[in-house]
Amino acid sequence: MHKIDDKLAKVTARIHQAAAAAGRDPQSVQLIAVSKTQPPEAIARAYAWGQRLFGENYLQEALDKLIALQQLEELEWHFIGPIQSNKTRPIAEHFQWVHSVDRLKIAQRLNEQRPSHLPPLNICVQVNIDDETTKSGVSLAELPTLIAAIAPLTHLTLRGLMAIPAATDDPGQQRSAFAKLRGALEVLNLQGYRLDTLSMGMSGDMESAIAEGATFVRVGTDVFGARS
């Protein structure tokens, strides 16, 4: 078995086991294979195994891959990295999902620049769940205001929240951070929003994220191996 095939099988098994342990349908958790720094050949191998969702952090690198892999059908590209305002147009034009919207200006530019022939762009608002100065994301306190401003934008579909909690090996601390994000989404839905997405969990903490309701887990190293 090819090593990417083997790794994808193991990650998928972990997702299914974690979902079962949480009393959830395994199909309710989708894997985004984080393919940053990986060559198109590695993505094509994962595609051949059956993987369709891929996450990219760096715009120019991603655009090169989109061109190289344009013959592959049903690929779904997720932009998961920080967004500079001068990079919004190609993101709006080429991606199906953006997980890292953290301020209104970015949302407005994505909305204005989404081509009219494409369906609305699915977005998640990135929350700085642990208030880390080194990470992007809106604070929990500012989240309701940002959500209220983004919701009316007609070329975007506001789907949910994303977070990258502080790194820890303690499952209890992991779950506490993810529970905060889940709680924030539940509060927003009580206010009338229809959010269905929690993008949270990576190679080292996906089980904790799934236990707290993750609908997307973003996994790179455990799928492709160490980054080049």
> What residue segments make up the domains of the chain, in order of their start?
3-224
| 3-state SS class at 57 | coil
CATH 3.90.580.10 is held by the domain 3-224: no
Give tens-digit pLDDT for 1-50. Answer: 589 999 999 999 999 999 999 999 999 999 999 999 999 999 999 999 99
CA distance 144 to 171: 28
pLDDT at 228: 63
pLDDT at 132: 78
- Contact assessment for residue 210 and residue 199, using Cβ atoms and an 8 Å cutoff: no
pLDDT at 226: 80
Stretch (H or E) spanning 30: strand 30-34
The β-bridge partners of 199 are: 162, 216
CA distance 97 to 56: 11
Give tens-digit pLDDT for 87-106. Answer: 999 999 999 999 999 999 99
Q: Who wins on pLDDT, 131 or 137?
A: 137
> What average pLDDT does the segment 203-212 reach?
97
